[in-house]
Amino acid sequence: MSNEFGKKIKQERLHLDLSLRKVCEAVFSDKKKPISVSYLNDIEQGYRNPPDSKIIVQLAKVLKLEPQDLLNLAGKVHPIIEDVSKKTEVGVLFRKIAEHIERDPGFAAKIQEQLDKNKDDQK
């Protein structure tokens, strides 16, 4: 198992001079309880896989990192995408877009251009 995720968490935590306990006090599980020090330590040491995406987003905030960078390192998707993709119509659309991108890598750039254009039109 690659431990790039755990190494990054530890590196940034130490860079910000934060203790394991301090980070854990700011990151909550689905049960609305702070994650445990031993759990975060195990992640940093590579004894556990990266946590779920909601916890990763919280860790990114505490460590002043871009959530998407940490999610990518962990091989996870953003919680918003997880939630949206569970909705049937949107999930089908995501799959169709992914299929198009596999066939035509430039398709993603076309979508981004259109999104940027729509954003500019709304201003």
Lowest mean pLDDT of 41-55, 77-91, 96-110, name the range. 77-91
Half-sphere exposure of 13 (CA within 13 A, CB side): 20
Can you give the three-state secondary structure of 33-58, one letter per residue?
A: CECCHHHHHHHHHCCCCCCCHHHHHH
Please list, residue by residue across 47-66, b when 16 or more beta carbons sit within 10 angstroms of its beta carbon and e when fewer do. Answer: ebebbebbbbbbbbebbebe
What pLDDT, on the 0 to 100 scale, is given for residue 71? 92
Residue 123 — very low, low, confident or very high, per pLDDT cuts 50/70/90? low
Residue 88 has pLDDT above 80, yes or no: no
CATH number of 4-77: 1.10.260.40
The total of other beta-carbon atoms located within 10 Å of residue 104's CB is 11
Residue 9 has pLDDT above 60, yes or no: yes
pTM: 0.68
The total of other beta-carbon atoms located within 10 Å of residue 79's CB is 16
**Mean pLDDT across the chain:** 88
